[in-house]
Structure formats: C-alpha cells, structure tokens
Structure 1
C-alpha cells in the first residue's frame, strides 16, 4: 500500500487525506511544531489518518521503515520540515537547500534577482537597531510596503508614505512576536510600493514541468485606512492570449524558486513595467479556493496535485487547465466594531437559493465582536459563487452581500 506523509494537514492541506484514502493510499500526519495556534490545529481530522505524529528528530527511525511515496506540505508552516523529510527519506520533492526561496519573503525576491527576473527591491531588517540606517537610504518621495518576513496573507502588512510614516510603521511593528501562524516574526522587509492589478497564478509542478491550474484576479479597495482590504477574487481563463505574459513570467519565477514537485501559489502584480511577483508558497491555494476550482477548471488544482504526488505524469498535451465555468470569492468587510449576529434561517434559505451560490463562512462566532477590516486577517468572512455567466456572478455577489452581511 502506498503511504504519504502530510505535514501540518491544516487549511487546504486537510483536503488531501480524504482523496488519498478514497484511492487506497495510507495517510500519516506530521505536526511540525507544538506551538501551532488552535485555529490551525482544529482543522485536523484524526479519522483521516492511520497515524498522527508530533515531529521530533527521533521520529525518523520510525519513518525510515515505511515506504513513503510522497511528503506533502499542508500549509505554510510545513515548508521547511517537508523539504527536510523529502531529502532524508529519499522522496522526490523540492530541495531543502532552496527552502528559504519558498517561505522567506526576502529570499524569494533575491532568488528572482539572481535569475535576472523582474523582482521587488527589498530591504531586510532583523532588529529595530537597523531602522535609522534604513531611513537614511530610502527615497522620501516613494510609497513603501512594510511586511513581516514569515507571516501569511496580509497579516502585519502596512502601507507607508514618507520617512516619518515608514519609521512609525517599523517602530510599531510586531518585532519578535508570534504571528497568526504561531511562528515568531523573524524580521521585516521594506519594499517600494508596486502598483497595478493583482493576480494569483496556481501551478502544479510535475518534475519541473508546470501545469497552470488557475489564474485569478483580486479586487482590493482602499478602506478603513488600509490599502489591502479584499473585496473579491475572480477566476480567469488561462487560455486567454492576453494572460500569456503573466503566465510565462510565473513559470520562470517558479523555476527560480526551485519548485520541482507539487502545487505553487503565486501572487503577482502586473505593473506598468510588466508582471512582478509579490510572494509565493509551495502549497495549495488557501481558503475555499480549491473547492471552488472544482467547479471552474478541468482538471482542477487539487486533483492535479494528487496526481503529481502519486507519481502520475502531467496531462499529455496540456499546459493549462480548461476554464469550464466562472467563479468568484467575495469577502465581507466590517467598517466598525460591532457584535456579530447570524442571519435568520429565512435569510440563509434565501441566500442558498441564489442560482450561483456555492457556500459561505464566517470567521467569528455569533456574539463575537468584529474587528475593523484592514486586511485578510481581519476579514470577518467570505462567500463563493460559480456560474457560466459572469453577469449573473456580479448580480449574485450583490445579493449575497446584502443578505449575509449587515
């Protein structure tokens, strides 16, 4: 029987095991750290795994006696351990020599620079003592983005214009504090703000051959004093000729990051100078996107990833998945702190009867207090839609927002 190790099977990483189980593949879970937050570890579904281990070096003795087919990163926290186990257990995967390129936001930009690809010039700060030196070297007329080195989504990302605001953002940053992943912030990077529409390209690498699994476009709005409030994510057809420069760049960037096997989630700004990567992760697209993609693309991201880890070849004659429908993720936004109340049963029934409705979720419990939304970490919930007609998607998005968030 084939066996796969899934490191930190949380977030969308929890989607793997049921599929492998249905294929007769044995699944073992490895928890990378005892310090992972409860909102991560609560995703674990014990019955999907024959064994669940807390990582420690002595576990290698047990694992070396098991014929392992693949080691899979369930989410961001799993990248380093996944690459480490891949090498020690002699399984096909991504080299731990380049792990930083797939997790460290400074290192990934340096990898692009070293491969002569468009990148964002980044300054790395490991302590507050480096702030004065940075302030002496930045252009006071430029806009900057300050972000934690190893956080996820837009947690801790701050937009600043002018030396005083950059200094304030860095001084008030969460130095050496635990982030939403349960990891300690290792430092911060300062980057000139790159403007332009933001895209997401999801790929799956089959021994270095990249299959485009999805292309999406974010809509973000300037709200509540933040430049990073998500409004929607819309799926696009990878076969559109207008997207070719974006896709060509994404493949070159993925190769520069040393990705050989498995899914790649890449966020890209299409600036006036062309596409440039913001950051990337060697894991599935987070949230509910993989479930949405099942209705939008053939083959979809999750099935391609499973095929890859089982050693199956890339789809013959196919460089990108086929876009068979349209999808949208809409994000709820709270403009003030207030007590959240669930919609009535009648309202929920009305929402679920919308022709494009796929589902919805809230990130706060009834009776909880909403934060003012300034990024994804403070987003109170979302919904997802799919339909063959894009005009219907827009109409349904307006309908769902009015019903499910007030």
Structure 2
C-alpha cells in the first residue's frame, strides 16, 4: 500500500509550517513540503522531505503533485501561507481533494473587494477608498479625514500598513509604498481607510464554528506591531455573542466557511467593526494559545479536514493563555540576549522562543518582523497568566549597538 502523504505548499512562515509538519506526523501522514527555496526554510537541514519548485506556477505544481501521486497516496494538499491558499484550492479541485474555494479566497485576499462585499452585506467596516497614485491617496484622505490608515490592497502581517496622522506622514508613506521599497504582490493598489479605534479582537474560526476570541494589543503608533495576545478574551456574554454573530456574517458575505478563518475586529462606539478577514488559520503562536487554553489543536483539526478525516473541535479544558512579543527600541547589531533559559523555567511558562541570534543586524520595518522573541504562559486566570508573563519577560535582556554613523 502506498504511503499516505500531506503536501504542504511553501514554508515562508516556518513556525507555522513546523506546526503542520509535526501535526501531520502525529496523525500518521508523511509531510512533503514543496517550496521555492527549501534551504532558506531550513527544511533540508532538518531532515524534512522538501522539493524545490516555483510555487507561483500552478502548472508546475500540478505536474509535481502528479509525479508524487505515482509513488504516494496523496491524502491532502494545504499551505500555511495566505498568498498561496487560492493556489491550494485550485490544486485540491484538480486532484479532487477537500479544499477551500479558490475564487472565495482570491476575492477575500483583495482587501478592496473584501471591503465591498462586507459593506454590501451590511457588515460594519471602516470608511475606505481605493488609491492607485499619490493624488488618489491625498483625495481619499481629505474625504475620510485624517488620521487614516494607508496600506497595500493585497498583503499580510501588517507589512506596509501605517497610521498617517498628518499630511507629512501621509506623503512620506505614499512615497515609501510607490517608490520601489515596498515589494508588491500584485499591481500597486492602496487602501486609504478610516482609523477605527477601540480594543482589538480576533475571532478564531474553523468551518462555521467560532472556537474562541483572542484579545490583541499593539505597540505604539504609527505602526501595527503586535505586543500581546490573550486567549480567550475577557468579554461579556453579549459582546462575545455580538462578535461571533458578525464573524459568521463575514463568512456568508465572502462565501467562506470551509476550514480555518480568522477575523480581526475592533470594538468601537458603534459596536464591532471588521478590520480584516483572513481566509486561513492564524499564524503561530495563535494555535498554541488555543491548544493551551482549550486543548484544541487547530492545526491537527485542519489537517483532518484536509485529508478527509473527521475533526473534533470540542473544548477539552479551560485555561487562559497569553503571549508577549519582545520588540527592540532601536536598530543596530544585537550584541547579546540573555535570561531566556531562566524565563523558561518559571512555572506556567509554556514557551520562550528567540527569533534572532547574537551578532544579527536589527533593522525595524514597522511590522511583525520587528519582534525578536516571544514568551507564552498559561494558567487558570488571566491575571495570573499576565503575572507569569511579566516575571518571565523581566528576566530577558539584550544589548543592541547602534550602526556606525548613526545620527539621532
């Protein structure tokens, strides 16, 4: 009998990709990664079967999967990458495997199309305009009123997203996006949006079931770099129900509901306002928080769906889990980072993970890539979890030497 395999398309987000690889192995399915650069992802050096291929080339992927199908029993195909999730849907349809609707994924990944569909369905979203050039940006900001959010119409992880509080910041960020420094996934199109204020939440969804809601906190503006997640969020029953209801309305409006989705919202004076719908599982460490809090392994349950097995989303325990991200306050060379071993030894700390090594250049970009480490903790109460996190974070210290010729 041929060996059952799970094909994982690409591994840019290696923390999340590793969760899929490990979960597949636990489920008795052999993972094979197809990647544009498996060496960069450290897959080949870790003994994980990896195949180099242009993952943007659908025909090449079909050919490679067909070749693998002559040796293996392909149980399923998936990806941890939003930019390739529509491609995964097309592969699944070609090989008659369970998978997402590629058309729904593509329209959801276009933030302008997403905004239009949500607004047409009566879902509350920020005021928005589409812009293709500097004149469009300026005109849209005048209509909406400063401050505004200026961001690419296609993209993830807050890359290229900035709060523009005045005309100078707006012009500066427009120049950055259009001046060749930002890498565009498609033709340059920008969204100018109302800056909606209020506590941030993320609804974690599998299929049509809201598993739970995460509370999120950002670092200081003008960027949107996450500093902390806590799961489940401390919400009244009414607010929880309201967020769950609007989240399911988003699924209907965008024709989603197969597999994982995460929906980012802010609670405002006018109730929940949807900031973004992401048609995929939230990246690491969100799945770890859900597993620590509820005992539900969202990655494994997603793989079960992908390979046609029956999933189980039943809550098995009740704790509160949280993660704190460590973010440097300057650019330069990381001389040293210490204290992580002592932090990991604290009771209640589930993980301390360093993203960088000493002598690494630190160049902040104003998005998720600015973080250099995280600490995860869990306990039966949020206040206790927060106290554990603080104790652990206080033990971790580092030194960064500014680059030569730095001018304050």
Same fold, judged at TM 0.5 (above): yes
How far the C-alpha of 1:158 sits from its partner, in A, is 1.2
- The answer as to 2:265 corresponding to 1:271 is no
- Tell me how far apart the structure 1 counterparts of residues 310 and 296 of structure 2 sit (CA, whole Å): 13
Of 336, 357, 374 in structure 1, the residue corresponding to residue 349 of structure 2 is 357
- Alpha-carbon RMSD: 3.0
Alignment of 1:50-61 (within 5 A): 53-55=53-55, 56=57, 57-61=59-63
- The answer as to 2:90 corresponding to 1:63 is no
CA distance 1:227–1:59, shift in 2 (3 Å) = closer
Name the residue aligned to 1:204.
206
Name the residue aligned to 1:117.
123
Name the residue aligned to 2:218.
220
CA distance 1:396–1:44, shift in 2 (3 Å) = farther
CA contact (8 A) 2:131 2:190 kept: yes
CA contact (8 A) 1:3 1:28 kept: yes
Name the residue aligned to 2:374.
382
TM-score of the two chains, using structure 1 as the length reference: 0.83
CA contact (8 A) 1:20 1:26 kept: yes
CA distance 1:43–1:114, shift in 2 (3 Å) = farther
TM-score of the two chains, using structure 2 as the length reference: 0.83
How far the C-alpha of 1:44 sits from its partner, in A, is 6.6
Unaligned runs of 5+ in 1: none
Name the residue aligned to 1:96.
102
How far the C-alpha of 1:134 sits from its partner, in A, is 4.0
How far the C-alpha of 1:185 sits from its partner, in A, is 6.8
How far the C-alpha of 1:187 sits from its partner, in A, is 2.6
CA contact (8 A) 1:214 1:297 kept: no
- The answer as to 2:92 corresponding to 1:86 is yes
CA distance 1:143–1:178, shift in 2 (3 Å) = closer
Deviation per residue, 1:261-296 (Å, 9 max, x gap):
221122111222122222232322212232333221
Name the residue aligned to 1:342.
336
How far the C-alpha of 1:52 sits from its partner, in A, is 6.1
Of 153, 161, 170 in structure 2, the residue corresponding to residue 166 of structure 1 is 170
- Tell me how far apart the structure 2 counterparts of residues 166 and 19 of structure 1 sit (CA, whole Å): 44
Name the residue aligned to 1:332.
326
- Tell me how far apart the structure 2 counterparts of residues 174 and 88 of structure 1 sit (CA, whole Å): 37
How far the C-alpha of 1:400 sits from its partner, in A, is 1.9
Aligned length: 386
How far the C-alpha of 1:48 sits from its partner, in A, is 3.9
Unaligned runs of 5+ in 2: 399-408
- Tell me how far apart the structure 1 counterparts of residues 83 and 192 of structure 2 sit (CA, whole Å): 23
